[in-house]
Amino acid sequence: MMFPRRPGKRRRFTLASTIFLATTLFISPAFAIWPFPPKRFTGNALIDAGSMGLSGDGRVVALGDFDGDQLLDVLLLGSDQQTLSVYYWKHDSFSFAEGESFKHPRKVYNVVPGDFTHSGKLDILVMSQSRNNNQLDLTLYPALSGDGLDIYNPLVLPSSTLSQPIPLDVDGDMKIDLLGITPDSLDGSGSTFQLWQNVWNASAPDSKLFAIEDAPFNGKHCTLANPHSNAVVDLDGDCLADVFLVCDDGRGGKSYQIWINAKDDGFSLSQEGALPSGTQAISFADIDRDGTIDVIFPTCSRVSSSTGAGTDCYINIAYNQQLPLCSLSTDSGFRKGVRICRRPGDLCTADPNFKFNLSDSPDNHNFVRFPTSSLFSSSSSLLVLDTTFDPPLPIALKLGDVNLDGFPDVLAITVAGREQTPHLIYSVPCAANLVGCAQDGSGRRGWKLATKGVETLEAVKDARSVTFLDMDEDGTLDIMVQRSGQAGQGNFLFIQNNFYYDAFFLKAIVLNGACGNGWCYGANGSGRYHPFGVSYSGATYKYTVLDTAGHRSAAQVGQLPQTAYQSLQTPYSFFGLGRTNNYIENLFVGTTIHAPEHYIDMEGVVPNSKVVILPSAKEGEAWKRELFLRPGEWIPWVTVTVVVAMILLAIIVLVLHLNEKREDELERRKISHHINFDAL
Q: Which residues pair with 48 in a beta bridge?
A: 495
Secondary structure string (H, E, C) spanning 537-578 = CCCEEEEEEECCCCCEEEEEEECCCCCCCCCCCCCCEEEEEE
Determine the straight-line distance between the first and last CA of the chain, rounded to whole angstroms: 54
DSSP 158: E
Q: Identity (one letter) of the amino acid at 560?
A: L
Q: How many CB atoms lie within 10 A of CB 168?
A: 25
Q: How many CB atoms lie within 10 A of CB 317?
A: 20
What is the SS3 assignment for 16? helix
Q: Identity (one letter) of the amino acid at 366?
A: N
Buried b (16+ CB within 10 A) or exposed e, 13-51: eeeeeeeeeeeeeeeeeeeeeeeeeeeeeeeebbbebeb
Q: How far apart are CA 510 and CA 572, in angstroms?
A: 8
pLDDT confidence of residue 88: 96
Q: Identity (one letter) of the amino acid at 242?
A: D
Exposure on the CB side of residue 394, measured as CA atoms within 13 A:
25
pTM: 0.89
Q: Which residues pair with 337 in a beta bridge?
A: none
Burial of residue 650 (number of CB atoms within 10 Å: 0-12, 13-18, 19+): exposed
Is residue 354 within 8 A of residue 320, CB to CB? The reply is yes
Q: How far apart are CA 593 and CA 590, in angstroms?
A: 9
Is residue 399 within 8 A of residue 283, CB to CB? The reply is yes
- Closest among 244, 115, 253 to 571, alpha carbons compared: 115
Q: Where along the chain do its domains lie?
A: 48-346+353-510, 514-633
Question: CA-CA distances (angstroms) from residue 567 to 202, 289, 467?
Answer: 30, 23, 9
Give phi and psi for 632, each to the nearest 5.
-80, 170
Q: E strands, 219-331, where?
A: 231-233, 242-248, 254-261, 267-274, 283-285, 294-303, 309-318
Q: Which residues contact 294 (CB under 8 A, 6 or more apart)?
A: 284, 285, 286, 287, 288, 317, 318, 319, 320
Grouped pLDDT means (10 residues each) for the chain, 680 residues: 42 43 42 60 91 94 94 96 97 94 97 95 96 95 90 96 97 95 77 92 85 94 96 97 95 94 96 96 97 97 94 96 88 89 93 95 94 86 95 97 96 94 97 93 95 95 96 93 84 95 93 83 78 91 90 94 96 93 91 93 92 86 87 74 95 95 88 64
Q: Which residues contact 321 (CB under 8 A, 6 or more apart)?
A: 354, 355, 356, 357, 366
pLDDT confidence of residue 669: 84
Is residue 525 within 8 A of residue 219, CB to CB? The reply is no
The fold of the 48-346+353-510 domain, in CATH, is Methylamine Dehydrogenase; Chain H (2.130.10)
Burial of residue 206 (number of CB atoms within 10 Å: 0-12, 13-18, 19+): exposed
ω before 394 within 30° of 0 (cis)?
Answer: no
What is the SS3 assignment for 19? helix
Q: How far apart are CA 64 and CA 75, in angstroms?
A: 8
pLDDT confidence of residue 515: 85
Q: Which residues pair with 625 in a beta bridge?
A: 613
- Closest among 195, 183, 196 to 140, alpha carbons compared: 196
pLDDT confidence of residue 674: 67
Alpha helices by DSSP H, 601-679 = 634-672
- Closest among 541, 609, 603, 601 to 573, alpha carbons compared: 541
Give phi and psi for 8, each to the nearest 5.
-60, -45
- Closest among 183, 234, 118 to 512, alpha carbons compared: 118
- Closest among 435, 297, 438, 317 to 366, alpha carbons compared: 317
Question: CA-CA distances (angstroms) from residue 280 to 226, 385, 490, 642?
Answer: 11, 9, 28, 55
R_g (Cα) of the chain, nearest Å: 30
Is residue 422 within 8 A of residue 409, CB to CB? The reply is no
Tell me the torsion sign for CA atoms 224, 228, 232, 233: negative
SS3 content of the chain, % helix, strand, coil (to 5): 15, 35, 50
